[in-house]
Every structure is written in structure tokens, then in C-alpha cells.
Amino acid sequence: MSYRVCLVCMGNICRSPMAEVVLRRTLEERGLGGRVVVESAGTGGWHAGDPMDERALGTLAEHGYDGAAHRARQFTEDWFDRYDLVLAMDRDNVANLRRLAPTGVEVRLFRSFDPGAPDGAEVPDPYYGGREGFEEVLTMLETASEGVAKHIADEIG
């Protein structure tokens, strides 16, 4: 039985697929890859079926990650039963997910697992900016992924 994680942003072409690729590698490096399924989705469906944003893909590739297989998907209410952990990139997506979530389901911010981040820290949306925003996002994702991996390791023993 696998532990299942879904990482969520708005359109599933920038932040959450980058987080998926980064977290998957972090878990592999800690020997947890075979025990954890990492996926991503967006709260909006307008990019469903699209590949990752080229700037996100390029930033990942420059740092040795491969996100070429990604295709955007939309998170739907029935998905909560599939996942042990649902993490959103920002407060707007936390709110969107909580509106869909059954009572008692916890949705957290991805950066809440970064011990150096302030309370309520978000992963900013780099979509409307330049390439430097994607670099900044990658750094945040790598740092928070360490904390997420530790949390998952504690959860699954």
C-alpha cells in the first residue's frame, strides 16, 4: 500500500508540477520513492491535458530534473479519497480545496513544511513574470520538499 500525495496550484502547469518532480526526487533520494505516489493537479481546468509551462520545464531541466511527461489535470471533489496528503501552493488554492473537501479533511500549504518559512508562506505564481520567478519557486520547492519528505517518513514509519 502506497502513501499518496497530491500537490495543487491553480492551473497545474507551473508550481504544482514543478513541486511534483522535485518531491518525487527528494523521496527517491531518501529511499521512499517506491512507497509514495506523488501527483499534482490544478483547481482550475483550463489547462487540462497541456504540458508544463516551457519556463517551468526549462528551469527544472537546467537543474537536472525531468518534467517532460507532465500533463495538467484538474482536482475534483472525489479525489480526496485517493490521497493521504493534499498540499496547495497558496492560500487561494487552500480555500478552493477546502470548499470541495469533506468534513475533517486537512489541506495544508506546501511551504508549511519549510521550517525557515514564515507562517502562512506561499509559493508565488511565477506565470506572469520572468524566468527568475521560476528559479525562486524551484528554490522554495526544494527546501520545502525536505520537510514534506520528513513528514511522510514519520507518517509511514
| Rounded Cα gap, residues 47 and 70, in angstroms | 12
Q: What are the CA-CA distances from residue 37 to residues 6, 136, 140 (Å)?
A: 8, 25, 21
Of the residues 6, 14, 15, 53, which is catalytic? Answer: 15
Q: Is 125 one of the annotated active-site residues of the chain?
A: yes
Q: Is 92 one of the annotated active-site residues of the chain?
A: no
Of the residues 6, 9, 25, 55, which is catalytic? Answer: 9
Q: Is 131 one of the annotated active-site residues of the chain?
A: no
Strands 36-42 and 85-88: unpaired
| Rounded Cα gap, residues 76 and 45, in angstroms | 10
Of the residues 53, 90, 114, 125, which is catalytic? Answer: 125
Q: What is the DSSP string of 45-103?
A: -TTTTPPPPHHHHHHHHHTT---TT----B--GGGGGG-SEEEESSHHHHHHHHHHSPT
Show which residues are catalytic.
9, 15, 125
